[in-house]
């Protein structure tokens, strides 16, 4: 059974591919190490690339992957690389996995954008990190995440985030304060000049084929947005 869903690709000097892992895989930090290792093996087999995880901390730091993922997972919320055959993973269970690509140079990035990361500007920081290396991440994918009609938050928290990212202000379907993380991420991408934004239109809380912490609490697993390149 194939475990990579919603695949897309861009062809240039390198072929850049993206996908999102199936709900059958458990990739979270809390998963049994053997289970997570088996899931990564499946990603590697299907993508033909070496998967690289990060220890996600809801911040805005970006880390360059230049050693094919050797060593422990870095503590950060964005990875980027120019190496072919490396698959960068951003994991989520309501947060927004964001994948970035420069079709010309082959540079790629994977970003985990939760509420704190959105407010901290992790997506603009990742775009800036790529540009510092001469890349132009002109294409982005926004993966499945909890939608603005489902992500209820206290009014004070909504106001705090909306003061930084006004486009994230939302209201739940039952009329209470909410945040639309996907809308906030898209606004940040467009403000940075990323115009080709491709969205996987699924709400993790509403669609049981995706993990959701809001729906399942501590029982929720984690899926991942995956991006890799190859000749």
What is the pLDDT, as a whole number, of residue 23?
84
Residue 30 has pLDDT above 80, yes or no: no
What is the pLDDT, as a whole number, of residue 33?
84
What is the pLDDT, as a whole number, of residue 1?
62
Contact 5, 11 (CB under 8 A): no
* Alpha carbon distance 130, 175 (integer Å): 39
Residue 227 has pLDDT above 90, yes or no: yes
* Alpha carbon distance 105, 83 (integer Å): 11
Task: Please give the average per-residue pLDDT across 122-148, as a whole number.
Answer: 98
What is the pLDDT, as a whole number, of residue 154?
98
Q: Summarize pLDDT for 154-210 with one digit per residue, the tens.
A: 999 999 999 999 999 999 999 999 999 999 999 999 999 999 999 998 999 999 999
Q: Summarize pLDDT for 7-20 with one digit per residue, the tens.
A: 999 998 899 999 99
Q: Summarize pLDDT for 88-133 with one digit per residue, the tens.
A: 999 999 999 999 999 999 999 999 999 999 999 999 999 999 999 9
Q: What CATH class is the domain 4-146+210-230? A: alpha beta
Quick one: 148 exposed, middle or buried, by C-beta within 10 A (0-12, 13-18, 19+)? Answer: buried
Q: Summarize pLDDT for 43-80 with one digit per residue, the tens.
A: 999 999 999 999 999 999 999 999 877 788 999 999 99
What is the pLDDT, as a whole number, of residue 13?
81
Residue 24 has pLDDT above 90, yes or no: no
- Per domain, the residue ranges of the chain are 4-146+210-230
* Alpha carbon distance 123, 112 (integer Å): 8
Q: Which of 66-70, 126-130, 146-150, 217-221 has the lowest mean pLDDT?
A: 66-70
Which stretch, 10-14, 20-24, 143-147, has highest mean pLDDT?
143-147
């Amino acid at each position: 059974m194939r475990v990579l869903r919603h695949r897309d690709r861009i062809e240039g000097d390198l072929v850049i591919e993206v996908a999102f892992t199936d709900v059958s895989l458990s990739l979270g930090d809390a998963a049994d190490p053997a289970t997570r290792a088996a899931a990564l093996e499946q990603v590697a087999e299907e993508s033909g690339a070496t998967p690289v995880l990060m220890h996600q901390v809801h911040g805005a730091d970006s880390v360059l992957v230049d050693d094919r993922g050797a060593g422990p997972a870095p503590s950060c919320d964005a990875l980027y690389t120019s190496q072919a055959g490396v698959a960068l993973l951003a994991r989520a269970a309501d947060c927004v996995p964001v994948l970035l690509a420069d079709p010309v140079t082959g540079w790629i990035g994977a970003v985990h954008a939760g509420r704190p990361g959105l407010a901290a500007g992790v997506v603009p920081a990742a775009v800036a990190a790529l540009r510092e290396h001469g890349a132009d991440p002109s294409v982005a994918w926004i993966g499945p995440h909890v939608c603005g009609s489902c992500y209820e938050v206290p009014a004070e928290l909504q106001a705090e985030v909306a003061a930084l990212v006004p486009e994230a202000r939302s209201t739940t379907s039952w009329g209470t304060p909410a945040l639309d993380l996907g809308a906030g991420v898209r606004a940040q991408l467009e403000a940075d000049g990323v115009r080709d934004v491709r969205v996987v239109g699924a709400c993790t809380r509403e669609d049981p084929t995706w993990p959701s912490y809001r729906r399942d609490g501590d029982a929720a697993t984690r899926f991942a947005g995956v991006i890799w390149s190859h000749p």
